[in-house]
Amino acid sequence: MDPYLTNCLVIAGLSLYFEDGHDDLDDFGFDDYGTECDGIRITAFLDAGQDNLTPLGRLEKYAFSENVFNRQIVARGLLDVLREFSDNENDFISVMETVARMSEDGEPTVRAELMEQIPNIAMFLHESRPNFPAAFSRYLVPIVVRYLTDPNNQVRKTSQAALLVLLEQGLISKADMETKVCPVLLDLTEPSSDDDYKIEAVAIMCKVVTMLSKDTVEHLLLPRFCELCSDARLFQVRKVCAANFGEFCSIVGQEATEKLLMPKFFDLCSDSLWGIRKACAECFMMVSNSTSPEVRRSKLSPLFISLISDQSRWVRQAAFQSLGRFISTFANPSSTGLHFREDGALLEVPRCTSDSSCHTERTITHTPPNQDGRATPSPEHVSTADSEELHNFDNSHTLVPEEVHGGFTHTNSSDSPTATNNAKNTKEAEQTDENFNSFHYWRSPLPDISGELEMLSCQKMEEDTQVEYLLLSFCTELACRLSFTCNSPPHRHGLVTMLACCSECKRFNLCFQNVIPQQLLDQYLSMTDPARAQTVDTEIAKHCAFSLPGVALTLGRQNWHCLKDTYETLATDVQWKVRRTLAFSIHELAVILGDQLTAADLVPIFNGFLKDLDEVRIGVLKHLYDFLKLLHADKRREYLYQLQEFMVTDNSRNWRFRYELAEQLILIIELYSHYDVYDYLREIALTLCSDKVSEVRWISYKLVVEILQKLYACGADDLGLNFINELTVRFCHCPKWVGRQAFAFICQAVVEEDCMPMEQFSQHLLPSLLSLSSDPVANVRVLVAKALRQSVMEKGCACADELEETVMALQSDKDRDVRFFASLDPNKGLIDTTPLI
């Protein structure tokens, strides 16, 4: 064979397969391309040759050639072939039939090449063919399904990957999945199936389940999945099932999970192989999210405790890593008072602020679901839930909100005041004639609400009694656990004595609550124990720090005392990664705790992070605005003096630290008065504008503009004028061209953001800007031309004549970039000149 042709094929990325030295590559079409190897087309064999065959005939010739290499080339170029024949329907059908026959090729490499092209072909047909579903279902889906049982491992792997891609793109219809794909997966997972096929089929079935509907999974795959979870012969099958157990639970929902999957999950959690138990621990949170609160507390919690005390270190390690996430599944917005917005922001549940708004809230019985699918009761329902929780404490020991079904809160209409009033109004409406008189006409008299007032009074007394009984129950349990003997019996008059007894327990630092099972909280608090790092995981403290905001959200701010000591321990951990994790989440924890607890417990830790390593300080800096806005104004003002400290870093090359500082200062401006902004933030901004890194300077120019806008928005024109004079001296008259260029950029941004009246701009900034039109550096004149042509002239100013003369001079500048921007139509899209800064 010609060595030159061999080199060309290798460069084109084509694998070479030869049966004999006397092949028919001379007719393949590559001889027409001379010395330009990069110009080779895989579909070159379709070009007219000496055989007088039509393109379709030539396709048939090489698709079923005795030479493996020819067939490989055709399989690899099928997408281009379809593009060639896509205009003619008959030719398209002929090509698809050829593809179907090629799929039966006896050479595995040809089948693998063909399968690699199936997703690309399907996407092309989907975009270009109106009858895509029919053609795809008839010709390509059977190939994918048949290759799932191919004897060659490479072909099977390729078909599995292609199937997942097709499902992700939504190219396989539900009917094809139910009638063609799922039956094959069920056959491959039969008890009598080959072991290798069975393991692969289980893995692909578990991946496919996340892309199918609930009905399809529940009716076709769920029964087989339950059988596979109990496969006694192949541990690999049970391990795959355990690793994907959470996905099945999230798809089939709560009812099927508790009825069918929970028994299997218990068996997997007690499997003899530690790898299976470890997989169960890793997916515990997803399983918990698919169960009811009762099952979560009574069944899953003891099961998780058994995993956390497993004999295998790897199982314990996975369990501790999942502990915080499992605890977070106990969170309830109605009790925590917080909910997640669609963009992920954590917000407080709105409370009523006036009598009228409270009344409006009470009349609304439909509660929209939250991010996690649970309903957030209105303030009326929250208060009702509180009394219901106290009433049910003895039986369930679970603080649960009032029952909510499908986003609707069900109340007893016969006992509610609203129902009573409606009944009275209806009765009075039927007696309108009796109520008529010459003064009131038919107006009904005001209803008597004495009964409702008495009912509310009784309910209030009952709640007070239940609160006292709740406290007595807590104190009694606490005393029993600590083996204390109280002189006074646990009745209502012994409340003071019992509370005094409980006060003695504080020195033991025991934290009791009733939001989550106490054992889970005890295990979580033990993650800061140094012994855990030796026996479980060296990074267990980091996992504890990572999940602490979720645990705090679940417990609520009323139980912050349970986590306070743990948080302080983590904040002083010797590993900087632990402190860094806390620094990145301290602003979220501040939202959870509220302003009072934040000021008392988080501010000292926040101050410590400010003096920590740069790896820790960056976590505080990235969310500096989010944390400061939660503080009171007087406390927030104390940090004005410390902002300058962020300018100093352990490594001066860490320019991203200064970039982040500038970004945060842009946001922080709104938190302070214009006097504070001028006295403290102005100096930092000017220093950042002189940074050695252009990215830092660029964002700092925006900061300068924001400061100027703040000053003029607050009516501090004198401070604004002083700042303008300082900018003119520092930048417009700067000996370095970078400073003068910055001045042009700032002027343009001031005009575009309407930072100041155009009259004052024309008086104080425009003369200096016009003076830079004759700057010797072209990069400066470029930004001057852009600012004048695209911004200043559009806004209009007092110096119109001088402005037009300057622009005309720039239009005839010797530099073509300056001429371009000076002549550019402002109505066209603005061109970004940031790289010039």
The amino acid at 731? F
Residue 187: Cβ-neighbour burial (10 angstroms; 0-12, 13-18, 19+)? middle
Q: Residue 699 pLDDT > 60, yes or no?
A: yes
Q: Give percent above pLDDT 70 in the chain.
A: 71
Please give the torsion angle defined by the CA atoms of residues 530, 533, 536 and 538, in that order, rounded to the nearest 10 degrees: 170
Residue 268 CA: distances (Å) to CA of 312, 316, 480: 15, 15, 36
Q: Which of 102-111, 543-552, 579-588, 806-815 has the lowest mean pLDDT?
A: 102-111
CA angle centred on 271, ends 267 and 277, rounded to 5°: 100
The amino acid at 85? F
- The SS3 of residue 448 is coil
Rounded CA-CA distance 301/825 in Å is 68
What lies within 8 Å, CB to CB, of 645 at 6+ separation is 610, 611
Residue 165 CA: distances (Å) to CA of 117, 168, 546: 12, 5, 33
The amino acid at 331? A
**Start-to-end Cα distance in the chain:** 58
Under 8 Å between Cβ of 79 and 124: yes
Helix then strand count (H, E) for the chain reads 51, 4
What lies within 8 Å, CB to CB, of 814 at 6+ separation is none
Under 8 Å between Cβ of 121 and 140: yes
Q: Could you give the residue ranges of the DSSP H alpha helices within 182-297?
A: 182-188, 195-208, 214-216, 222-229, 235-243, 245-252, 254-256, 262-269, 274-282, 284-289, 293-295
Please give the torsion angle defined by the CA atoms of residues 356, 358, 363 and 364, in that order, rounded to the nearest 10 degrees: 120
Q: Residue 801 pLDDT > 90, yes or no?
A: no
What pLDDT does residue 81 have?
80
What pLDDT does residue 28 have?
39
| pLDDT top residue among 672 and 36 | 672
DSSP state string for 571-623: HT-S-HHHHHHHHHHHHHHHHHHHHHHIIIIIHHHHHHHHTS-HHHHHHHHHT
What pLDDT does residue 215 have?
87
Q: Residue 479 pLDDT > 60, yes or no?
A: no
**Please, what's the largest Cα pairwise distance for the chain?**
119
What pLDDT does residue 284 have?
95
DSSP state string for 313-356: HHHHHHHHHHHHHHHHTT--HHHH-EEE-TTS-EEEPP---SHH
Of 796, 735, 807, give the one whose Cα is nearest residue 769.
807
Q: Residue 739 pLDDT > 90, yes or no?
A: yes
| pLDDT top residue among 148 and 476 | 148
Average pLDDT for 79-102: 81
Rounded CA-CA distance 478/42 in Å is 80
Rounded CA-CA distance 713/720 in Å is 10
Neighbouring-strand partners of residue 404 = 409
Under 8 Å between Cβ of 620 and 642: no
Q: How many CB atoms lie within 10 A of CB 384?
A: 17
Strands 338-340 and 404-405, bridge-based pairing:
unpaired
Average pLDDT for 683-692: 93
Structure tokens at 346: 């954590």
Angle separating helix axes 778-787 and 816-823, nearest 10 degrees: 0
The amino acid at 776? P
Of 572, 467, 560, 484, give the one whose Cα is nearest residue 521.
560
- The SS3 of residue 441 is strand
Neighbouring-strand partners of residue 375 = 369
What pLDDT does residue 525 have?
94
Of 561, 604, 597, give the one whose Cα is nearest residue 582.
604
Structure tokens at 187: 């056959």
Strands 404-405 and 408-409, bridge-based pairing:
antiparallel
Rounded CA-CA distance 180/144 in Å is 10
Cα atoms in the 13 Å half-sphere on the side-chain side of 610: 19
- Over residues 363-418, the pLDDT tens digits come to 323 333 333 333 333 333 333 334 333 334 343 333 333 333 333 334 344 444 44
What pLDDT does residue 396 have?
39
- Over residues 596-626, the pLDDT tens digits come to 999 999 999 999 999 999 999 999 999 999 9
What pLDDT does residue 494 have?
47
Rounded CA-CA distance 246/300 in Å is 13
Q: How many CB atoms lie within 10 A of CB 632?
A: 11
Structure tokens at 631: 């503080």
- When pLDDT is cut at 50, 70 and 90, the band that residue 265 belongs to is very high
Of 38, 43, 69, give the one whose Cα is nearest residue 58.
43
Q: How many CB atoms lie within 10 A of CB 291?
A: 20
What pLDDT does residue 125 have?
80
Please give the torsion angle defined by the CA atoms of residues 658, 663, 667 and 671, in that order, rounded to the nearest 10 degrees: 10
Count how many residues are written for the chain. 837
Under 8 Å between Cβ of 822 and 813: yes
- When pLDDT is cut at 50, 70 and 90, the band that residue 583 belongs to is very high
Strands 338-340 and 346-348, bridge-based pairing:
antiparallel
Q: Residue 466 pLDDT > 90, yes or no?
A: no
Q: Which of 396-410, 500-514, 651-665 has the lowest mean pLDDT?
A: 396-410
Phi, psi of 52 (to 5 degrees): 55, 30
Residue 568: Cβ-neighbour burial (10 angstroms; 0-12, 13-18, 19+)? middle
